[in-house]
Every structure is written in C-alpha cells, then in structure tokens.
Structure 1
C-alpha cells in the first residue's frame, strides 16, 4: 500500500500537504469555497486521476470531522431543499459520465464563480446592513443539483452551492454548518457510483494516510479563523477563495 509513497517526488509532498491544509481550512472556515483547489494543486506534479484518488479519503475524513464539529448547526430548511437537489445532480453526473466534457464544465463553473466573487466584493462594500432571506425552492434545487453534478464530474461543487447560500446572509456558523452536512452527504453518496464506474481507486490509500496528520491542523486553523473574523470579513475571505477557485477552473477549462 505504501510503495507509491517512496517514488513520489518532494514537490508532490509539498503541494499535497498544502492542498490538505487548504481544503481543511476551507471546509472548516469558509464553506468549502476553495475546496476544489486541492486536486489541481497536486495535479501540478502527478496525474489528475492519482491526485483525485489520494484526495478522496482526505475529503471523507474532513467531512467526518465536520459532522462532529458542526453538529446541530446546519440549516434544516435549506437542507430539505438542497440535499434532494444534490442527489439529482449526482444521478445526472452518473448517467452522463463519459458523455460530457469535464473541461467545459470547469470553464462554465469557473466563469460563474468569478462573476459571483465580484458580486460578493460589491456586497461586502455596501453600507446597508445585509438582511437575512428565506430559502427558495426552485433556485435551491437548481444550484444544489448543479453543485452535485459538478462535484461528481469535476470536483467543483463549492461555487454553485455558495451562490445559492451566501445571498441569504445567514449567520456564518450556520452557513458553514450547512455546507458541512451538504458536502458530507454528497461525497459519501458518490462512493457507490464511483465504484460502479471504476473510479474508486483505493490503491493509493497509503499516500492519503501519510497526509492525514495535516488534516486536523488545517481544520483547526480554518475553525479559529471562522470565529476570529466578523461577517463582513467572512464574506470577503469567501469571495477571495471563490475568486481563486474560479480562476483555476477557468484556466483548467481553457488549457484542457
């Protein structure tokens, strides 16, 4: 199980540790907005399928931690809408796998993430106090289904679901708690379809386990940042992480 670890270059380990820290921080502190950067970072020096195989167990561990840390903090009204929507998106990704070009999906989601990030920058500069709004069924189903679909085909589910949740201006702890439950269900629900499609590669589990000590550090830092900043700061940092994720997705979509 560990034979792959001895042949990996130092650059991989440095980027993989950075990716693990970044994903943990993003999941704990900013609703997973930059979680889609984990695989691309590692894929700078190794093949993308290998990077995805290494990252999957890490994501599942992070999700399990999140379910404990944020227990009871999810927004039930939103979850009743977005969890069924996510299942629709995962089912669509499963049915259409091999028939869609993931490069174009990344490009479109990247453009959407950039537009939304700039809108969040504008909203963060607004003088008026943001007023919380209620969940809405049709937008919730649409954005959560898109998130489930893009998570399945290109590991980029963060920007779509944030586009639905952030304009509601809910408390930051409730927002992050909602995304923790959402992506925990999404990631664990992908295991069956991935196995059926032959995408579930656990041969590199040893590499994932060697990276596991970085998970609690990244999660701790993200969680402390979440408590340390106010709502305006939270929105600004989330906008920056969405900007970074969107830029990387657009680059990947163009470069192919």
Structure 2
C-alpha cells in the first residue's frame, strides 16, 4: 500500500515533536506527540512505528547529554528498578486494566503539580531517597509498558531534588534510553511492522536530528526556573492526556 502524503506529514510532525521534547527536557513526554500519530493510525501501529525511532532519538541525544550530565547515584537505583518495572508491566499487560492505570497515574501527577503550585511555583528541594527512587523506577517501568507514559513517576522523583537543568535532562535522557531499548522488542513482537510501516519509519528519520537539535537549543536558552516551570506544565498536560485516555476508554 502506498503511503498517503497526509500520513507522512502527520507522522513526521509527531516524531519531530517527540524528538524536540527529548532534546529540550531529556525525554519522558513522548505521550504529547502520540495524539498526532493517532490521527492517521491506530495506537498499536503508532507504538510499533515509534519503538525503533525512540532508540534513534536516544542515541542522537547522547551527543548532547554526555556522561557529565548523568546523576550516577540516582541512576544506580532508578535503572535496575526500571528494568524490573518494565518486566512487571509486560507480564501485567493482560492482567492490569490500562485505563485504570492511566487514571490513577493522572490523578497522582495532578496532585503533585497542585502541591507545586501551592508552594508558589517554587521547587521545594528534598534530600535523595532510595525508597522513593525505587518506587519511581518501578512505577515508570510499569506505566511505560501499560499506559505509554513513564515520564511522570520519574519527574516526580527528580524535580524535587533541585538538580541543575543539565543534570536533570541528562539523567532523564539516559533513563529513557535504557527503557526504550528494552521496550522495542516487545512492541515489535506485538505489532509486526509491514513494509509500508518500515518505509514510513525511514522517511521520519530526518525528523530526529532536527527535533533533538532544536530542543537542545531551547534547553540552552531556558534558565533553571524556566525549565522547571516548563517541566511542571508538561506534567499537567501529560496528566490530562492520561486522564482523558483512561476515562474515554471506559466509554467505548
């Protein structure tokens, strides 16, 4: 089947938006670009399209988020628990109600954002906590497999640490590099891409370096406070999208 021009345009823009988020914030907000793809394809096909492209985004972003931008003490706990969480999410795909998971995650995220607003939009710095890191890694792994959104649990752990914007973005980037690599195979097994889908992936590849680079340029222009405000704002958008997906899922 030939690729329709509108399908190519929407898919290219969707991949660009996700790559832009990767360059600006280190990742975790892919769900904001996914609704664009749902205009021209079903969610499973979109997932299969993005799975290999995520890896391309991650590898390209590592040109900017070098090891000096990784918080090793946090990643030492977050990454192993992420792996476990993805495994639990994969096993639980048939047991867990993804709509309920989306709604619960949305409500928790909105509460987190509301507490930030209550503090006057200031980040209340809290000390590093291993139990919180374990919970964040597990929750992110489960939600990234079940509800396509592992960003909120990680952000809710990292943002209150008050780390520099480079450290926040770099740590987030490496975290999702591992997560996306692990998710790629299950997604490609779940939805075996057709030849036209592989062609569409190839045509969307140029959106990756362009999106990541422009996002990184924005990151450089934002100061610490602006970046954190943007992250909290994106968390609210992500939560509202999750809430919408969960509630409308029960209506169908």
More deviation, 130-139/212-221: 130-139
Is the CA contact (8 Å cut-off) linking 1:194 and 1:200 kept in structure 2?
Answer: yes
Question: 5 Å matches for 1:110-189?
Answer: 110-123=106-119, 125-126=121-122, 133-189=126-182
Tell me which residue corresponds to 1:242: 235
Look up the SS of the partner of 1:98 in the other structure: coil
Instruction: List runs of 5+ in structure 1 lacking aligned partners.
Output: none
> In 2, distance between residues paired with 1:151 and 1:14?
26
Q: Tell me which of 78, 99, 106 is aligned to 1:82.
A: 78
Is the CA contact (8 Å cut-off) linking 1:16 and 1:42 kept in structure 2?
Answer: yes
> In 1, distance between residues paired with 2:191 and 2:64?
27
> In 1, distance between residues paired with 2:49 and 2:202?
9
Using a 3 Å threshold, how does the CA distance of structure 1 residues 42 and 254 change in structure 2: closer, same or farther? Answer: same
Tell me which residue corresponds to 1:209: 202
Alignment root-mean-square deviation, CA:
2.0
Q: Could you tell me how far 1:173 is from its partner in structure 2?
A: 0.4
> In 2, distance between residues paired with 1:20 and 1:144?
25
Q: Tell me which of 4, 10, 14 is aligned to 1:8.
A: 4
Q: TM-score, normalised by structure 2?
A: 0.90
Using a 3 Å threshold, how does the CA distance of structure 1 residues 121 and 29 change in structure 2: closer, same or farther? Answer: farther
Q: Could you tell me how far 1:192 is from its partner in structure 2?
A: 4.3
Q: Could you tell me how far 1:146 is from its partner in structure 2?
A: 0.4
Look up the SS of the partner of 1:45 in the other structure: coil
> In 1, distance between residues paired with 2:61 and 2:136?
22
Matched, 1:94 2:90: yes
Q: Could you tell me how far 1:240 is from its partner in structure 2?
A: 1.5
Q: Tell me which of 10, 17, 20 is aligned to 2:12.
A: 17
Tell me which residue corresponds to 1:199: 190
More deviation, 40-49/220-229: 40-49
Q: Could you tell me how far 1:131 is from its partner in structure 2?
A: 7.0
Tell me which residue corresponds to 2:212: 219
Q: Could you tell me how far 1:97 is from its partner in structure 2?
A: 2.1
Look up the SS of the partner of 2:62 in the other structure: helix
Deviation per CA, 1:215-238, whole angstroms, max 9, x where unpaired?
A: 112111110111101111001111
> In 1, distance between residues paired with 2:172 and 2:130?
17
Q: Tell me which of 18, 21, 26 is aligned to 2:21.
A: 26
More deviation, 143-152/61-70: 61-70
Matched, 1:104 2:95: no
> In 2, distance between residues paired with 1:194 and 1:207?
17
Deviation per CA, 1:70-90, whole angstroms, max 9, x where unpaired?
A: 121110000001011101201
Instruction: List runs of 5+ in structure 2 lacking aligned partners.
Output: none
Q: Could you tell me how far 1:13 is from its partner in structure 2?
A: 3.2
Q: Could you tell me how far 1:159 is from its partner in structure 2?
A: 0.8
> In 1, distance between residues paired with 2:32 and 2:157?
20
